[in-house]
Structure 1
Amino acid sequence: MQTNSPNATAPVLLVGVDFGTPHFDTQLEELGLLAQTAGLEPVARVTCKRKAPDAALFVGSGKADEIKALAESAGAAEVLFDQSLSPAQQRNLERHLGLPVNDRTLLILEIFAQRARSHEGKLQVELARLQYVSTRLVRRWSHLERQTGGAGVRGGPGEKQIELDRRMIGEAIKRTRDRLEKVKKQRTTQRRQRERQNAFNISLVGYTNAGKSTLFNALVKARAYAANQLFATLDTTTRQLYLGDGLGGGRSVSLSDTVGFIRDLPHGLIDAFEATLREAADADLLVHVVDAANPGYPEQINEVQRVLQEIGAADVPQLLVFNKIDALAHFQQPRAACDTFDVDGRAVQRVFVSSHTGEGLGSLRHVLAQRSQAESAASIPRETPYLHEAAA
């Protein structure tokens, strides 16, 4: 990334390649939002279709020439690809285009680095960044490959710079993992304490910018940072949730706001954020927040389900919360406050709310209280699949 300060904006050319995926972003809208979130300014966009990536240039030499000409005419200082590039493809493209070339993975890493606030969050981002950089060392330091002896003496082959870099990065990765392991143990202790207190644990999950933090603030009267942007918050925040007099079965109910998911979330980030994402896997109930006003919400739901599967949280009971109904047109407004929605062939209870106006929050509290009481009475084991509850 070429940004040097939070307020800097570098002109960037966006590139997307359609390999026949069913939901290709023809307008590169999400990539553009990610770029703006990272402090970049999209000045041009180009898409193309291919059956498979070109081994050397990802897009082929002809399209690479077109990208170079467009970047020059638009004044772009960087080229950003919507897909992940191999180290060799990135290096070849930079030589061909004469500009810095980065991919979606690095862009997300940059955003996470900017947004991490807690010690744990910073450690997680640093681990993911180190893992990413470790794959980008191929032949980047060929001018420093050999160390020479003293004056007038030709030294033997010394340690290559790339080997020095790999060793240093490897040591940094080990140190960061050790520090994260300590954080992981602390979180495990905290979860055990909640279990001993017979707490009903709820985690908010969902696609980034679905309004999780705004809903969290509305439910627990907290002041967690919330903004209309991608990845507004990264660090998990947990608060006690008040469900109302006589509700919740007399149990303590805790609510956690977790990091948002996104399409093609880098595996390195999923691995690095294991300690944070365990909040979702260990929850008694997942409140899956959906941006009802986004036309692409079915694909976003599918992506969240994929990530939940990857982190071992696919079998945790879910409740769908369709948020931002205040942004829907009159003819799109829901006919009932609660109903069910099909997710992977299973009927999952759904509640419609507006975190901004407060509409539907009473119904949501009532449903959460019912879930808490049902779990307490039935002592549902963790392996139980989604609840199939009818609408209230």
Structure 2
Amino acid sequence: MSVEVLELPEADKLAPITKVETEIVRMRKAYSGLTIKDTNDKEGFGKVTAARKEVKALRVQVDKERKTLIDDAVKWQRQVNEVAKGITEQLVAIEEPLQQKENDFIAERERQKQEAERQRLEKLRARCLVIASIPDVLFDGVSYILQDVTIDAEGIEKLSDDAFQTKVEAFEAKYQTILEARLEAERIAKEEADRLEAARKEQEAAAAELKRQQEELAAERKRLDDEKAAHEAALKREQEEKDAETRRAQREADAKAAEEKRLADLEAARQEAAEKARQEAELKAKQEAEAKAEADRIAKEKEVKRLARRPDLMKFVDMTSDVLKVVNSFEFKTEEGKSAQASFLTGIELLIKSSTLSKAE
């Protein structure tokens, strides 16, 4: 609002300043109740700004009039300054609250802008932490990767909450598949280790039994050698006593013949037992060699079949990955649509797991 200054008679030279008091009353009444509701209240902000500018213009005009009056006469200077100061203080009292409301409006807008940016960064950080917390997920500096399931850092922020949740579920499902395959491989490895351990224990038991038999044969051989030595000593004594005791010698000769026959029978029995043990050991070694050859043949056949299946398995993996990508490329808005998509994905994954190629591996 501009203030028109009229030519006044000499008797009322302060009128250009004092007449503004009526405007002050009006402004105080009109502008003291102005408010800005929030950062979206552009109309309220415009009214406050326009009011402040109008008050400022009137204040500036009063100051101009003050300078004009004090230039006319030094004696008016003190009076003009005092009147102008009082009026200026009244105008400033109206202007400053308006200025504060403008400042508060601008500060609130900036605070809200900073808060929105903080929330955006916090949400992005939280999403990245969710993806990174899934086991086996790798970050190459650009994207999060778990085999064929990937998402780049920029794409994470653009996804809606539902789409992001779907992506997280895809990562979790892929990890579950990897975990199941890993557990199955560990189970097979444990079964093979248990089988080898059982075979090792059987071999140790067989070796212990063979050692026991060998020790018994050695003990029997020592016993026979001791008996033979004792017999030779007896023969020597018999020879020395032969001239004196013919009849005793004859009896001893008969006894010797009987003993030699007994020893011969024992030796024959020992040799027969040793031969039988040797044949049994050879038969067992042959059976073990044949079993090992059969196991090697079966293992080679399995490896040949596995290598033959490898190209088909790679094609099957590519095919199923393409199918899953196509299904995941559709974004459903309703809960029924999302549920149908999830059920379809579950059905596909079950078919993949139950395929002959997956089970063969």
- TM beyond 0.5: no
Of Structure 1 and Structure 2, which has the larger fraction of its residues in strand? 1
**Structure having greater relative contact order (Cα 8 Å, sep ≥ 6):** 1
Structure showing greater Rg: 2
Of Structure 1 and Structure 2, which has the larger fraction of its residues in helix? 2
Indicate the TM-score class for this superposition, using the shorter chain for normalisation. Answer: under 0.3
